[in-house]
Chains A and B, each alone.
Chain A
């Protein structure tokens, strides 16, 4: 049994030059990355940094110009096993409307399994499981257009989950959703990782989403800029700002306060942590007015 991981080595990708004489565009430049099974990884980067292009290499939608992508021991260049890879690495896209194929929720969840030629009884079982996992079971007979954006995106996740993939890649899954939908989808993603041990690769430019991951990979101009825990990455406020990324609001607050000479720990990422730190600070050093 091969090691369960996605390993990317020396990945370079160039969009080929087109006929009108536009030169080819280098999107990824010699990228190395390993994602072991079970992790919750967030990939951060501003628009055009190459993060979506990288994601499309994980399940052989794109082929590397140079270098290799190996999924569970299968190189994505192996044409004969392309569907083995796609079954192992599921992918969810930004627009929930454009990835639902069928007119009934449960039929859509069954789509991938039907393509894989799974026997009908087994499909039924897995579809029910997947719908329950994303908490959409009671909507199984609804039409997609009757659902909210967050619900549609959860159906799309169920459609991938039914394949029982080792990895789920989510390419900005919350970008088109309202705050409520974002919350739902993010909760679902976290539950999948925690309760089912599914490896999650979340591509996003929302910092508050990335904070919740085990590991954050920052990509800029086709290269990996930083790779570490959220605390390691988000404490480097200047570096993130220099590549056009934001930091979580509370981190920014703490950063600005520290600049003013107020003694606060730098690795504050969530509102609760910030609240606790500020409370402690106010209790120990009473506010003094300057006049």
Chain B
């Protein structure tokens, strides 16, 4: 049962977005987040939404995947929206209920915040949907490269991440085995209250940790035998290359930023009552 889990949320495919350089995807995602915070008037959201919708369509990621990525943060969105609805002060009051009063300004802020959060999550999810965890690790290693100058252990960090990714399925399988073994010895893991269940995890975690330590030792030895000596003087088989595709992506994103800034600058006096 545990075996079926997928690592990350990678959605394999061969679309234009999938084929983009992971470094560029990472940069563009950060770029997009910045754009979302630059947007300051309601019309600025229109190109932002269109941009993301277009990207999802090109990547051939089904729309229900957006819903799936937003689901976990839905409570946060609702909570902030409700707070905004009732606690934003303004002059255009819709109704008052004791100490609470709802204003058009509040409605607008709640809507803006919710939309921004949704776009934020949908935008970053697009990156994880179209980039395998391992190429993401490569991208992070390369992009953080300059930090090596200040002795930040970039290579070590990336190596740790990729080893962690490598061992997730192995350890999941092992957890399964240990659980079966403990059940065979009469361990009860399904019944009882929260505390009882948490206690039932101890006999699973201890063997798991021990075995993970043993694996780590073996792996270290095997790595040493294969001449591993840190990031110094290391080459990579797969080189990352920026292609035309990546520059196209960059261009479109820059255009989006420009459009948003222009929309911000256009005076819109008819919206004053919302601000």
- Chain A interface (Cβ within 8 Å of chain B)? 59, 61, 83, 86-87, 90-91, 93, 95, 97-104, 106-107, 110-120, 123-124, 127, 143-145, 156, 159-160, 163
Contacts and interface: CB of A to CB of B under 8 A. Distances in A.
Nearest to A143: B169
User: Which of A98, A107, A116 has the largest number of chain B CB atoms within 10 A?
Assistant: A98
Contacts of A91: 222, 225
A107 B170 contact: no
A101 B219 contact: yes
Which secondary structure dominates chain A's binding surface? helix
A95 B229 CA distance: 22
A93 B234 CA distance: 24
15 contacts: A61-B221, A93-B222, A95-B215, A97-B215, A98-B218, A98-B222, A101-B222, A102-B162, A103-B133, A110-B237, A112-B226, A113-B237, A114-B237, A117-B234, A117-B235
B238 interface: yes
Given A97-B215, A117-B233, 6 more contacts: A61-B225, A86-B226, A90-B225, A99-B218, A112-B226, A116-B227
B163 interface: yes
Nearest to B170: A97
B272 interface: no
A80 to B, nearest CB: 13
A112 B227 CA distance: 6
Contacts of A104: 134
Contacts of B228: 111, 115
B225 A59 contact: yes
Contact of B218 (A61, A93, A127, A160): A93
B173 interface: yes
Contacts of A106: 237
- Report the contact-size class of chain B (Cβ under 8 Å from the partner): 20 to 34
Interface of B: 133-134, 162-163, 165-166, 169-170, 173, 214-215, 218-219, 221-229, 233-239
A107 B227 contact: no
Given A95-B218, A143-B169, A83 B237 contact: no
A120 B219 contact: no
B227 A83 contact: yes
A124 B166 contact: no
A86 B222 contact: no
Contact of B165 (A103, A111, A160): A103
A163 B218 CA distance: 20
B173 A145 contact: yes
Given A99-B222, A115-B229, A107 B238 contact: yes
A127 B226 contact: no
B225 A83 contact: no
B222 A114 contact: no
List 3 tightest A-B contacts by C-beta distance, closest first: A99-B222, A98-B218, A112-B226
B227 A86 contact: yes
Contacts of B223: 101, 111
A127 B227 contact: no
Nearest to A127: B237
Q: Which of A95, A97, A111, A118 has the largest number of chain B CB atoms within 10 A?
A: A97
Nearest to B234: A114
Nearest to B133: A103
A201 to B, nearest CB: 14
A159 B237 contact: no
Nearest to A108: B166
A98 B237 contact: no
